[in-house]
Amino acid sequence: MNANYKTLLEPYPLSNDVELKNRIIMAPMTNFSSNPDGSVTEAEVNYYARRSKGVGAVITACAYVTPSGKGFPGEFGSDRDELIPSLRQLASGIKNQGAKAILQIFHGGRMCAPDLVPNGEIVSASNIPAENGATAGVEPRALTETEINEIIEAFGESTRRAIEAGFDGVEIHGANGYLIQQFFSPHSNRRDDQFGGNVQERMTFPLAVVDKVQQVVNEHAKEPFVVGYRFSPEEPETTGITMGDTLQLVDVLTEKGLDYLHVSLGEFWSKARRKADTTKTRVELLLEKIHNRVPLIGVGSIYSADQAREAFQTGVAFLALGRELIIDPDWVQKIEAGKEDEINTLVDVNKQAELEVPDPLWKAITTTPGWFPGVE
């Protein structure tokens, strides 16, 4: 191995009890490839297994915690015990290749397509339509306090199922405009009860989910079990989340005993837009606020070994690769073998079988110009 890349592949503790074999993680990416009942397909298991040989951990695509939270066609679920065998199949497929398996759990809220949820009714913190995405302009129904508490319990139950299925951890999906973020956002949360108000009060739901997940882990996990939290730093809406809001949230999350925080970025080097030092990257600002209190996973358009090495120089503990591990599942192994010059950074549209990508995901990749490098 080239000594320049030694840092990437060093073992690193995710907590006092869990160590990853290296600092590269497979990022969570929707793959649209599950069965209609929310169970995992063989093609999905093979897809994850193919990418689990080199990385330290795999964070799966998001699994919905209630039927009302299903965000995508072909998404797998964690909302009922009947799916535990399916989840166990997924966890085993990842772990058998040497990576830690982390289940991402989520509720889509107002971003769910009406035809995927019961009675076609989408829900959110308030009845404010999204401005972007497939459900832009569709008015959601504001959740009642009883329903909110039921969803908090559902996150806990999904965590229990992940434990029983053999996962090594869960990631709470508080990013990308989904329900947890909708409660934190001043754009989507206009509530005047305990779940709404100023920036601290809008943290109530996200923090309640964290508390419930951690409670379930303490009650049910017989071995060390990882709990992480993913967040998006800013929203494009004028009244949306600012970088300043997120720095306040992160400051609180670092004191919650989480095993890691995971920032969701399309571009690792992107700079803050509002309510923070706009001359600094979001990663820089986050690392300053966290101040080594909890590991931070960085992500965002990293493809080559040199790009990864440069990203690690910021001080992030881990780097998550999404599209690049689809393009080249052997990314880590090539660096280990000193063959980083052979890493593919453009998707080869003729190599679906070799890359073991399920048909629905492959169709999305090859028909969405600009999403993956190499697809025009």
Catalytic residue numbers, as ranges: 178
> How do strand 296-299 and strand 19-20 relate by DSSP bridges?
unpaired
Length of the chain: 376
Token couple for 314? 């910021």
3-state secondary structure of 326: helix
Contact 177, 124 (CB under 8 A): no
Phi, psi of 92 (to 5 degrees): -65, -40
Beta-carbon neighbour count of residue 211 at 10 Å? 14
Phi, psi of 37 (to 5 degrees): -85, 5
CA proximity to 300, closest of 291, 292, 288, 310: 310
CA proximity to 250, closest of 215, 291, 212: 291
Cα gap 357→368, rounded to integer Å:
15
CA proximity to 209, closest of 183, 243, 238, 177: 183
Token couple for 137? 């302009």
Contact 283, 298 (CB under 8 A): yes
For residue 104, the surrounding DSSP H or E stretch is strand 100-106
CA proximity to 302, closest of 333, 282, 324, 287: 324
CA distances from 57 to 48, 136, 147, 320 (A): 11, 34, 33, 9
